[in-house]
Structure 1
Amino acid sequence: MQDVVIAGAGPVGLWLAAELRLYGVGVTVVETRPEPDPYSRALTVHPRSLELLACRGVEGPFLAEGLRVPSGHFAALTSRMDFSGLDSPFPFTLVLPQARTEALLAEHARSVGVRLLREHRVVGLAQDDDGVTVDVEAPNGPRTLRAAYLVGCDGTRSTVRTAAGIDFPGTDATVWAWMADVVLDEPPRSHTTTNRHGAVMVFPLPGGGHRVVGNDADSVRTTPTRPTFEELRARVLRITGTDFGMREASWISVFGNATRQAEQYRQGRVLLAGNAAHMHFPSGGPGLNVGLHDASNLGWKLAQTLAGTAPAGLLDSYHTERHPVGVELLRSTRAQAGLMTTYTPEALALRDLLGELITEVGEFSTALAVRAAGLATAYPPADPAAAHPLTVSRAPDLVVNGPGTLFPLLRRGRYVLLELAPGSGSPSLAPLAHDVRPGLDVHGAPPVEDRPHWSGVTAALVRPDGHLAWLGTGTDRTALLATAREAVAATIATAPAAA
């Protein structure tokens, strides 16, 4: 019996599989497609996603291939959010077609021993107290796979979600837009136009070519049909006044604003991640990124559950933490869809006003940028009254003694306990490293002086997914050691826990 079967070899399924293998979990990924999809709906990798890749030491190939754009858009407004001042080692959006993101993640998954079965389609499942039996259609006929857990990363039409009986409430599409990868003889560096005729965005792709995204005011609310190349060129010309020398399209597609979310991310031994859990308008390209964040949240929790080292309720916390993130994702993309597909004078005036606020009010632009970059996610602490305000927020790439910064310390997927104290001696919290299973690394770091919210923090426990499990204050090292020991004991089980 496998530990985990994952349905879907897209970016989310591949990243989750690699995360599980970091802990020695046996993983089989089943994928319907005989070959990877050569076309790319998603194009952007956000700063937080790059941070998660860096926390495993695999960000290099992505940075080498992608185009770095130090800004992002909200609802295709002409005024863009400035990412250059973000508190991240990656203050930019990385433009990288999904096909390449998927290929790089597949290479990483293979390198850590993930088993991938193509032309295998999940058609049913049955749960019991000991595991999940997965019914699969394979090239040589029906077969079954047995696993302790099954994770559906199989998209918005998820067979796993349906077979598990998990509801997917929401709304059907009411507006539609189109996208295309084209060759332009007179390309702009980047271009955004919105007026009473519709909207068009044009931006370059790595390796040449351009992506064109837009919708036409006359057809935005009609039943979608994929435009021909000539129709696409005519629409771009009508909206922008030029076709930018468009002479070839390698791919044209349509998409809508259907918005849905799974009521449960966990149903017994079945879990959902990525588009199997949430469906939305793709403004700003958040879907792939939020899916990767789902996988990063789930991977270590599922691995510790399988190992019997998870504290009570850890696997349930996947839904508790990630479902509200999905709610916020849907709220944001709904708002942007409304702005991007309405062309009344009032809607255009609202767009102008928001654009002015982004340009003129730095706090407003920064707040939008932090959210769009994926850096604002914070989960509810177990005891809000007792917790430090930063508890379960994302840990920045703090300066640490030795390796330089925090993220390299997370590459083993272990908890990291930082003692923030002057000097470079052995941390007084070091004895805790020997008390904990499945693993805790204790490391010294200088006090944090460039972030006001960290004032007075003298210790921080960082989870394997880079979120802060606990923060301690006070300079009495004996008292701090006692408090840290209590925090670690409450966070990391040291005895086998029930699955």
Structure 2
Amino acid sequence: MKHDQPIYDVIISGAGPVGLFLACELALAKCQVLILEKAKSPQSPFKRLPFGIRGLSAPSIEALYRRGLLEELEIHKRLKNPHATSVQQGPRRQVGHFAGIPFHEGDIDTSLWKHRLTSSTETNLISEMEEIETVLTRRTEVLGVEIKRGFELTSFHQTEDGVIVQSGEQSFQGHWLVGCDGARSVVRKLGGFEFESTEPEFTGYSTKVDIADPEKLSPGRNLTDRGMYLQSQPGFIVIQDFDGGAFHSSEKQITLEHVQEVLRRISNTDVTINALHFATTWTDRARQATSYRNGRILLAGDAAHIHSPLGGQGLNLGLGDAMNLGWKLAATIHKKAPEGLLDTYYTERYPIGAQVLDWSRAQVTIMKPNPQARALNSIIRDLMETRDVATYMAGRVWGIFTHYDLGNAHPLVGYSVPNFEFEDGRRIGEFMRDSQGILLDFDTNTSLKTLANEYGDQVKYVSGKAKEQLGLSAVFIRPDGMIAWASDGKPDRQSIRQAASLWFTQFIS
């Protein structure tokens, strides 16, 4: 290695949304970041509508809003729902699904979500992979992140104080390496991580085709006695063939003849495909790394966990990883991290990942083409028409219930901070763009301002009356927007310090 090469704080493998967002979080905290991406171009038909469509959940929307990125997303402003052919409008408008079973806007009782206010961001929005990556790439450029495309990570090894990464004949040095390189992560495979799994039930196909007789296929999502097919737009076909993932594992070429055979069999029609423009396969294999860290190597996104794309929660899970990891790794790099801070990345995010994998497995179970699954599917379909179940399903799909166990008795601790709106119209999320912790004081208590100053530039003091305060007097907010401490009465300075000591280093006693 040449001596004049820079030594980066963090090298990230993968320039997808997770790697890009993590790079933004680190660079926002003044870390030097290099991203290595094996693809020479970010362009792909599978990143654009309709296959590139992604539903952003509440935690992702909040994260992007708190960093000033949400306003740059445009698609959701003009595209209410991508599956217009299968969605009703008005109070019965479909706003999500579980295993293809829809829940509707008018059936959801949002008043049950006590920590969400009228000033909160949306619970769900439509975007696409290409748009998200474009917005995040633009932000990385502003923050000075270096991205090298066409550089596949081929090997690496750890030293006492860093990691040396090889890409072909070139090498790069960093203090930390984070694998955000997807389901087939090289970082995970070479880094000694165990990857526990349950095997797949089906091979999924995403295709763009020309169909000679499209009227033979029903629009929308269709469960049959042999599988499932979805026609979101004419010519864009998704198929689930319950072959145990055999075709995907075979790595055989996807031909027009094969897609036609599978589609005919699943749809019970003699539909004819004239042209196959592109196709890819996937499965519902569910795997999760048993650890997200090995020394100076970390995993995030699909590198740490994979599952069926049913419900579209993979992107949201990965963005949550990045939001959780970024400030903790930055604090560790700048030697401002209390003991064990970086370990909380795994202890907090692993359970969230496990829940999503189970959610995916549950959907697959009731989509199987057998009498037992059809019976259970029918019961869930009936239950989905009730207000309680629709509200629960929406809360799960949209991430409303996301919670970390932070060991505090207050019911709001561990949840995302409500987007309090102050009397002057500003909202608490607008104070989070620099990724600092916040001590929010509704009663303008000067002693709390003095306490916040004890943590230097790690913590920002914000005071003022809010239009809706939920009976709170003060709230301590982590840089990722999670509530670390809250009080309904007179704030106890010692309890604040005790909570803060888990996340910040005190510089002034």
- Short-chain TM bin: 0.7 to 0.9
Whole-angstrom distance in 2 between the partners of 1:74 and 1:80: 12
Distance 1:485 1:402 in 2: 29
- Measured in 2, the distance between the counterparts of 1:31 and 1:373 equals 30
Q: Is 1:90 aligned with 2:122? A: yes
Write the letter of the residue equivalent to 2:98. F
Aligned length: 471
Deviates more, 1:460-469 or 1:65-74: 65-74
Partner of 2:247, secondary structure, is coil
Code of the aligned partner of 2:9: D
Give the letter for the 2:451 counterpart. Answer: L
Cα separation, partners in 2 of 1:439 and 1:237, compared to 1, 3 Å: same
Q: How does 1:357-396 map to 2 (within 5 A)?
A: 357-360=383-386, 362-381=387-406, 384=407, 386-396=408-418
Instruction: Choose which of 186, 189, 192 in structure 1 pairs with 2:221.
Output: 192
Counting only pairs closer than 5 Å after superposition, residues 342-491 of structure 1 correspond to structure 2 as: 342-360=368-386, 362-381=387-406, 384=407, 386-421=408-443, 429-446=448-465, 454=470, 456-474=471-489, 476=490, 480-481=492-493, 483-491=495-503
How do 1:219-238 and structure 2 match up within 5 A? 222-224=246-248, 228-229=255-256, 232=259
Question: In the aligned structure 1, how far is the partner of 2:202 from the partner of 2:42?
Answer: 29
**Alpha-carbon distance between aligned partners in 2 of 1:78 and 1:7, rounded to the nearest angstrom:** 37
State the Cα RMSD in Å: 3.1
Partner residue in 2 for 1:49: 60
Deviation at 1:104, TM superposition (A): 2.3
1:9 is paired with a residue whose SS is coil
- 3-state SS, counterpart of residue 31 of structure 2: coil
TM-score when scaled to structure 1?
0.85
Distance across 2 between alignment mates of 1:445 and 1:187: 62
- Label 1:300 to 1:187 Cα distance change in 2 as closer, same or farther (>3 A): farther
1:57–1:434 Cα change, 3 Å = same
Alpha-carbon separation, structure 2, partners of 1:467 and 1:119: 37
Match status 1:122 vs 2:153: yes
Does structure 1 conserve the Cα–Cα contact (< 8 Å) formed by 2:102 and 2:384?
Answer: no
Relative to the length of structure 2, the TM-score reads 0.83
What does the per-residue CA deviation read over 1:156-210, in whole Å, with 9 as the maximum and x for residues that have no partner?
2211112221111213434212122457888999722213142223335xxxx77
Where does residue 162 of structure 2 map in the other structure?
A: 131
For 2:21, the aligned partner's letter is W
Report the counterpart of residue 88 of structure 2 in structure 1: none
| Distance verdict in 2 for CA 1:133–1:235, change over 3 Å | closer
CA distance in 2, matches of 1:2, 1:471: 37
Relative to structure 1, is the Cα distance of residues 334 and 426 closer, same or farther in structure 2, using a 3 angstrom cutoff?
Answer: same
CA 1:130 to 1:240, structure 2 compared with 1: closer, same or farther past 3 Å? Answer: same
Assess, with a 3 A threshold, how the Cα gap between structure 1 residues 485 and 51 changes in structure 2: closer, same or farther: same
Compared CA separation, residues 490 and 349, structure 1 to 2 (3 A): closer
Percent identical among aligned pairs is 32
Structure 1 position 18, deviation (Å): 0.8
Contact 2:256 2:273 in 1 (8 A): no
Task: Give distance in 2, aligned partners of 1:428 and 1:364.
Answer: 46
Match of 2:338 among 298, 308, 311: 311
- Change in Cα spacing, 1:128 to 1:287, as seen in structure 2 (3 Å) is same
Segments of 5+ residues of structure 1 without an aligned counterpart are none
Give 1:400 deviation, angstroms. 2.9
CA contact (8 A) 1:178 1:226 kept: no
What is the Cα deviation at residue 481 of structure 1? Answer: 4.4
Which amino acid in the other structure matches residue 458 of structure 1?
A: S
Contact 1:401 1:443 in 2 (8 A): no
How far off is 1:131 after superposition? 1.2
Go from structure 1 to structure 2 and tell me whether the alpha carbon gap of 1:388 and 1:84 turns closer, same or farther (over 3 Å shift): closer
Cα 1:109–1:440 change in 2 (3 A) is same
The answer for the alignment partner of 1:26 in structure 2 is 32
- Structure-2 change in CA distance of 1:55 and 1:439 (3 Å): same
